[in-house]
Structure 1
Amino acid sequence: MDRPDLPLNALRVFEVATRQGSFTKAAIELRVTQAAVSHQIARLEDLLGVTLFLRTSQGLLPTDEGRLLFPVLEHGFDAMARALDGLGGRRNIEVLKVGVNTTFALGWLMPRLAAFRQAHPEIEIRISTNNNRVEILREGLDMAIRFGTGGWSGHEAIGLMDTPLSPLCAPELATRLLHPADLGQMTLLRSYRSAEWPGWFEAAGTSCPPVSGPVLDSSIALAELAASGAGAALLPVSMFDHYITQGRLVQPFGITVSAGRYYLAWPSDRPITRAMSTFSRWLSGQSPEETGPYSA
């Protein structure tokens, strides 16, 4: 049976609503009412004979059918925009939207990004920073740089680099630290990964003291708090070289422990664009410890 012609406007509304994760936000972007967005989605679902969204306590989530349709439409609309730009005499720019862990963005990526832009002026990188909690599809991203152990369900991932953790503190506090056990005399600032400090003390060959310092979900915030003299923070040293060079932080011990790696990840069902491939190759070439794809 022939499928009825699908209205382009309804397809566009679906693409925006999926990317925004909200009918309200979609209405704002499209400059229409929320009722108009709901009407277009209902019309599209009726024509396709499937449900495209689930309304949950976490918000608007695409169904399996919606997840299948979204990347095709997203890249289709992007391709149309590039073609129209070409007809208008404008340079054909491909936009790549990348979510980046804030620590990696400030400590490694941003100082190198100018070199990528110079080498690839045909690709516009749009960076969105986060504290490692990112939903690529829902946030309208193409790829994301995340910290962890890899193996994210439904995603491909390329390992970029390991960034071992070591205690960092203000110079005035470091003068009190002769042995790893001396850290028990000061506040130990914590991330939401509770096993990090016990893991470091185990690597140092000494027992872990009670850890009761503030819990923060940002390494940048931990570094700033440590630099202010509030305590010692367990941080990826290579991401905070500039703090050490500036004399704001000191690494009192050379002992390190690995808690994960940085990965470049993208949805397994997303078609690989030229920009995604180019950025992936460049990033892997810049990284000292490239590994092969990891899928789950």
Structure 2
Amino acid sequence: MSDYLPSLSALRAFEAAARHLSMTLAAKELNVTPGAVSLQIRDLESSLGVKLFERKTRALALTVEGADYFSTLRAAFRLVREATAAITARGRGAVLNVTCTAGFATYWLVPRLRRFEAMHPEIDVRISASHRVLDFSATGSTLQSATDSAAMTA
């Protein structure tokens, strides 16, 4: 098996052109000229030794090899887009701070956390186990002890 890997720009050009079946729409998406997309694809076809498109008058069609390659590249680019979205979402500060008792965290919250993180990978969950509880009615969400809270409600 060869270790050869085509240029990322050529792969992006091919994937966009195959998805749109248009050099013009691919060029618009990639912010380049249609001629640049065409050249990237021609270079890719040359380096692979395979024709990826049937070029017709004002139309493109994928060859069998092109369709197979596109299917694999589309999945690979989807994974890259998802990974990028997940990591940039974490970088933007999507944080869920949870303050609860140690017993609640241990016996109820933590066993369910893996499922929540699988459903919401963009949220960074931070757990603080404490005997203190948050007073959400107070300005700034200050902490107060559980005994203080109980005394206030009595």
Length-normalised TM-score, structure 2 = 0.55
Q: Equivalent residue for 1:169?
A: none
Q: Equivalent residue for 1:75?
A: 75
Q: Equivalent residue for 1:55?
A: 55
How far apart, CA to CA, are the structure 2 residues paired with 1:46 and 1:58?
Answer: 22
Give the 5 Å matches for 1:69-148. 69-88=69-88, 89=90
How far apart, CA to CA, are the structure 2 residues paired with 1:39 and 1:58?
Answer: 17
Any idea what the Cα deviations from partners look like across 1:116-156, whole Å, max 9, x if unmatched?
xxxxx87xxxxxxxxxxxxxxxxxxxxxxxxxxxxxxxxxx
Task: Give the CA RMSD over aligned residues.
Answer: 2.2
8 Å CA contact 1:26, 1:37 repeated in 2: yes
In structure 1, list runs of 5 or more residues that go unmatched.
Answer: 92-120, 123-296
| Paired residue type of 1:27 | A
Compared with structure 1, are the counterparts of its residues 90 and 35 closer, same or farther at alpha carbon in structure 2 (3 Å cutoff)? same
How far apart, CA to CA, are the structure 2 residues paired with 1:56 and 1:48?
Answer: 21
Deviation at 1:54, TM superposition (A): 0.4
Q: Equivalent residue for 2:44?
A: 44
Q: Equivalent residue for 1:20?
A: 20
| Paired residue type of 2:55 | R
How far apart, CA to CA, are the structure 1 residues paired with 2:71 and 2:47?
Answer: 19
Give the 5 Å matches for 1:127-206. none
Q: Equivalent residue for 1:290?
A: none
Which has a greater percent of helix? 2
How far apart, CA to CA, are the structure 2 residues paired with 1:14 and 1:55?
Answer: 13
Compared with structure 1, are the counterparts of its residues 66 and 43 closer, same or farther at alpha carbon in structure 2 (3 Å cutoff)? same
Identity %: 42
How far apart, CA to CA, are the structure 2 residues paired with 1:3 and 1:52?
Answer: 20
Q: Secondary structure at the match of 1:82?
A: helix
Length-normalised TM-score, structure 1 = 0.29
8 Å CA contact 1:4, 1:47 repeated in 2: no
Q: Secondary structure at the match of 1:86?
A: helix
Q: Secondary structure at the match of 2:61?
A: strand
Any idea what the Cα deviations from partners look like across 1:207-253, whole Å, max 9, x if unmatched?
xxxxxxxxxxxxxxxxxxxxxxxxxxxxxxxxxxxxxxxxxxxxxxx
Q: Bigger relative contact order, structure 1 or 2, given CA contacts below 8 A and separation 6+?
A: 1
In structure 2, list runs of 5 or more residues that go unmatched.
Answer: 93-118, 121-154
Q: Secondary structure at the match of 1:2?
A: coil
How far apart, CA to CA, are the structure 2 residues paired with 1:19 and 1:10?
Answer: 14
8 Å CA contact 1:27, 1:34 repeated in 2: yes
Q: Equivalent residue for 2:151?
A: none
Any idea what the Cα deviations from partners look like across 1:86-144, whole Å, max 9, x if unmatched?
222179xxxxxxxxxxxxxxxxxxxxxxxxxxxxx87xxxxxxxxxxxxxxxxxxxxxx
Compared with structure 1, are the counterparts of its residues 90 and 64 closer, same or farther at alpha carbon in structure 2 (3 Å cutoff)? farther
| Paired residue type of 1:4 | Y
Q: Equivalent residue for 1:280?
A: none
How far apart, CA to CA, are the structure 2 residues paired with 1:5 and 1:25?
Answer: 25
| Paired residue type of 2:67 | R
Deviation at 1:4, TM superposition (A): 2.6
How far apart, CA to CA, are the structure 2 residues paired with 1:69 and 1:2?
Answer: 16
